[in-house]
A and B are shown apart, each in its own frame.
Chain A
């Protein structure tokens, strides 16, 4: 008989073996999880993480390209760049919490020595229009001591960067401020617009004037530096870089002497006004200015609300308003040559048609009077222009009513339509037509339909007519050159940063007016007499001018304002090369304020040519 001995140790071991198996099983499962996860991360999705790692370590730093310069006709610099050390906040690093941000701005205020409220205000101004992701420039032109301090304490200010930026510089101060325009950081709106292609947050964009019109030329191509950074964003090495391509320069058609003369003459008058000087034979703008003006340098910093307000404040004369291309005024007697062309072409008058100017004329129960009710007696066309007989042109306006001859010719000369100048912000003006007024009347927006009186008023540049100096200069230039309407243009050529000419801008003919040479000659004769015959309206100004000119005064009623003073002149007579139009708000008689400005401009123009002829200056044209 065999007795099986009880083996407690074995039983314990059997129980233990099971428990070991449980612990081992848990271990196997845990290891399996780790292996599977490791395999999944590295082998299956490794490429994705590799891309993430590469993305992690590189930063692309956009290196701004210096914008091209803007030069005048002689190559004098009107706009170029200076470099500036800007204290900027990295948008990715800015704390999202208001309290932390306050603290950061507070500590920056301490470093740059400004008050906290000043820094916070700058921050708000900068953030307002900037698209997300653009660096926030708190202050430009940071001193070396602050730069060094921040470099030494970079760890304390991970959000702060000191970057070299280009800032527009205006060596001639206010010279041609309205034409040059300004640059600014792109806004979210810019980025969405079709023109925003290729732009990024933080880039600079032309916002007005030439800067805006020729932004594509001036902008250049930003460079790109790829750097390796560590986890704190410290740069560890440069990987590759594309050097920035500086923008091309723009050489304007502006004649520096003409421009300076016009600006200082307007400034001397001290009233809001504008002048335009055009080359009659190709449409080049030799000078253009609007008064009052502004210092374009204010746009290199964020505008304070007060500054922004002042620029458009009517009481200050709205300095930003470019009256030369957007001032809509009645033009008064300067309009008469256009009326004359229409009358001659329509056969309503001949140069020898005589009208007895008794100081007033009654047309369909309405009496129209000369300025000051002065009677000029019997006048032909030449005399009517010379003495500026309103009655002559009232009569002609009445005859031209119906058939819209006057409107058609006016439009041909460019009244009531943009000239197409290469400058943003041009106004259309207003050429009143029966259709226009009748439509307004039908819509209940005016008190009466078109009447013959409207045409009578238009004939002397009054009534509803609105035009700006550029339109008047363009119209006179067409008269002067025998009927060619050039598109006025400001740019002579595009040059690269080394000064080589990339592209020359050619004159563009907008329209050809079929101007009867005899009619043109008669009108020019009248304009010449008006300027330089003793009875002429601007003889007092131009009587002693050494160059023969043909010019017309205008004194337009512009209620509730005082009379608008105009002067438009072609010179030299009889084959003019330059047309100058000047207007002065509330300037009174054309001969009193506008004509003297034109005289200054023409003096500058002809002095320069005289000097060029005598060899005084080498590079005039």
Chain B
């Protein structure tokens, strides 16, 4: 009796009633995942405050303080979403998918243009980039369709269906922003891998994509009918040929590489002239990693990469912990989205990937991106919370 009372008391300690932390579900969250996400935001704020703010012009702390505000909104959204059972999104897949496609199409009609491409919607208080949230929406909807259609049709038919559902928004986004559409593509492929699509099918898709890239980048321009816009083409190929022409994509990438390299082991601190004097382009967004690398050196840059590795590992881990297969697929999609963005963005900063305009999750300045990423992590936390609850036989609704 006494022992059961003790057990009962311990169980009660886990009940989400006792304090504020428990009431918002923090106790059941994945602590390492939260740690990595918050750590990255902290790194972002520090970098924006110390390195970028100095030369940003206007109010010196504008970037850092606005990023902090976006971060707070994002964290709130993360906590709110983590309290929802992600499985409900499966039921809403059609609505989510429709909203996804509609928001992308809305860009064509109402979008505002920045840096040569149109990606934003002007909303009250801030401009919104639907494609950022779209990454999460695609994961939730596509994973839902996979579960839903798992028993319909042959394997080939299923493969084609997944592909069509994933690549339809990918194609729409491609017309606006190459980087985001690549992320969409990566999400689609990752979910298909996790869903158990035959390796032979995946290999065929890979070959098809390679052929498509070759046609787009080489054959069509040669035939006089370029598919990509000029600036897209230049960015994609510039990392192959660094240039000394200021304003040229190759020059920018070269400057970012010099910034990264010059950081050395421990960084240049306030002597970081590459970023401070404006040699590094877009130093608060696309090239923020180069700023970190120059200012804080290998030590700082490796810390940031390690935090991403931790985040990626925790996301992958959820694939096996998830209480249902939908959670597995969602975790796979989100993990792929984060991994892909990190690799392409950091690779771009290190001069081994083309300039594609993909921001570094949680680090690059930008409200839409940071809030959307926190929402993704909120979904991951929901998967974690649901699995913990399932193990204890408690379902949180």
Contacts and interface: CB of A to CB of B under 8 A. Distances in A.
Contact of B274 (A19, A34, A56): A56
Nearest to B265: A43
B196 A19 contact: yes
Contact of A47 (B264, B278, B293, B316): B264
Residue from the set A24, A38, A46, A236 with the largest chain B CB neighbour count within 10 Å = A38
Contact of B335 (A23, A35, A50, A236): A23
A49 B258 contact: yes
Contacts of B312: 27, 31
A56 B273 contact: yes
Interface stretch (B164-172, B339-347, B363-371): B339-347
B261 A49 contact: yes
B258 A34 contact: no
B305 interface: yes
Contacts of B335: 23, 27
Given A20-B320, A41-B257, A231-B255, A34 B298 contact: no
B112 interface: no
For chain B, the bracket of interface size reads: 35 or more
B109 interface: no
Interface residues of A, number: 40
A156 to B, nearest CB: 15
Contact of B277 (A12, A22, A230): A230
A17 B298 contact: no
A15 interface: yes
B388 to A, nearest CB: 18
B246 A41 contact: no
A54 B276 CA distance: 12
A231 B194 CA distance: 46
B325 A50 contact: no
Interface string B241-262: 0000010000000010111111
Contacts of B394: none
B278 A230 contact: yes
Interface in B153-203: 190, 193-194, 196
B245 to A, nearest CB: 9
B298 A39 contact: yes
Nearest to A28: B309
Interface in B322-370: 325, 328, 332, 335-336, 339, 342-343, 346-347, 350-352
Interface in A34-61: 34-35, 37-39, 41-43, 45-50, 52-54, 56-57
Interface string A206-239: 0000000000000000000000111110001000
A229 B305 contact: no
Label chain A's interface by main secondary structure. helix
A45 B263 CA distance: 10
A231 B193 contact: no
B106 interface: no
A34 B265 contact: no
Contacts of B297: 42
B350 A34 contact: yes
Given A45-B261, A46-B263, A54 B273 contact: yes
Interface string A382-421: 0000000000000000000000000000000000000000
B301 interface: yes
B302 interface: yes
Contacts of B63: none
Contacts of B264: 42-43, 46-47, 50
B319 interface: yes
A42 B332 contact: no
A371 interface: no
A42 B301 contact: yes
B298 A43 contact: yes
B189 to A, nearest CB: 10
Contact of A37 (B255, B265, B294, B350): B350
B319 A16 contact: yes
Return the 5 tightest CB-CB contacts between A and B, nearest first: A49-B261, A46-B264, A53-B262, A231-B278, A230-B277
Interface of B: 190, 193-194, 196, 246, 255, 257-265, 268, 273-274, 277-279, 293-294, 297-298, 301-302, 305, 308-309, 312-313, 316, 319-320, 325, 328, 332, 335-336, 339, 342-343, 346-347, 350-352
20 contacts: A13-B320, A19-B193, A19-B332, A31-B309, A31-B343, A33-B343, A33-B352, A41-B260, A41-B350, A41-B351, A42-B263, A42-B265, A43-B298, A46-B261, A46-B262, A49-B259, A49-B260, A53-B258, A53-B273, A57-B279
